[in-house]
Amino acid sequence: MSFVAELRQELVDAAEREQARRVPRLGSPSPRLVVAVAAAAVMALALVLAAAALNTRPVDDRNPSPAVTPTPDARPLFGGTLTPDTRYVTSVFVPRLSFEVADDRWMATDTTLSDELRLVRVKRGAPGPNPPRIRQLVFLRISEVADPSVRGLEASRTAAPADLHEWLSDHPDLRVGPERPVTVANVPGERFRLRPEFDRPAHVDPWCARHTQFTCALIAPSLNWPDGAHLEMIVLGTEPQPLVIVLFGISAGDLAAVEKAAAPLLKSLQIGVR
């Protein structure tokens, strides 16, 4: 069976499992912005930095999907702080991902979802009086979005567009920069910057508004951003569905810190590994 066929079957199986065990998470309290706030405060420890990065594997130029290669000695990814010099592999997320981290300031939250994997950048040193920084790296498959022209969360649910950059650029609550080519794990794609800017978003995430200090615009499941946040989005041309990578910072400085910290991780990334 070809890689594309195997990955398509994984997606079908994952969708059936998701449908059986939970309803879609549009507006529901899956790992969200507040996870980073709590995690950053709780995980405030003095840790030692270590460097680690591996080369990605080759890909067939005729097919944007990465080749399936074994990942020896990989540790299954579970929630908690990640250890450098250790290769992790996801068990549930589709497509399967494998990567290493360069230091011990990354923490995985919920690793039981087939369409979302969220890594939080935890704070170093003792907790201070200032609010903890919010820095995240998120892997997603986006199957639906919230149409900003339709009132009501349930009524606004619609299938994700074929061109995500174009759809986000037309969203009234977002300011989106131009696309730039990028290659991650030998898979070509596009990357672009975006910022939420709104007085009152088209759709307020009720859970975020109720449990955090932020009013968040609900863009899609797992995409709920406060006004003024800074983001970089990477859309990779995997098949049969794009892999979306979001780097998130509450400020420009936070985003720059996430980009720097995520660079070794993304360099070591393998997609579709067995």
Q: What is the pLDDT of residue 210?
A: 83
Per-residue confidence (pLDDT) for residue 208, from 0 to 100: 85
| 29: preceding bond cis by omega (within 30 degrees) | no
Question: Is 244 within 8 Å of 164 (Cβ atoms)?
Answer: yes
Burial class (CB in 10 A: 0-12, 13-18, 19+), 115: buried
pTM listed for this prediction: 0.75
Q: What is the pLDDT of residue 35?
A: 41
Q: What is the pLDDT of residue 221?
A: 87
Burial 168-202 (b: 16+ CB within 10 A, else e): bbebebbebeebeebebbbbebbbbebbbebeebb
Tell me, what DSSP letter sits at residue 126?
S
pLDDT of residue 212: 78
Query: Per residue of the chain (274 residues), what is the pLDDT tens digit?
Result: 544 455 455 544 544 544 444 333 444 444 444 444 444 433 433 332 233 333 333 334 444 445 445 556 789 999 999 999 999 999 999 999 999 999 999 999 999 999 999 999 997 654 544 444 689 999 999 999 999 999 998 999 999 999 999 999 999 999 999 999 999 999 999 999 999 999 999 999 988 878 777 899 999 988 999 999 999 999 999 988 999 999 999 999 999 999 999 999 999 999 997 6
Say how far apart CA 253 and CA 189 lie, in whole Å: 25
Element (H, E) at 257: helix 252-268
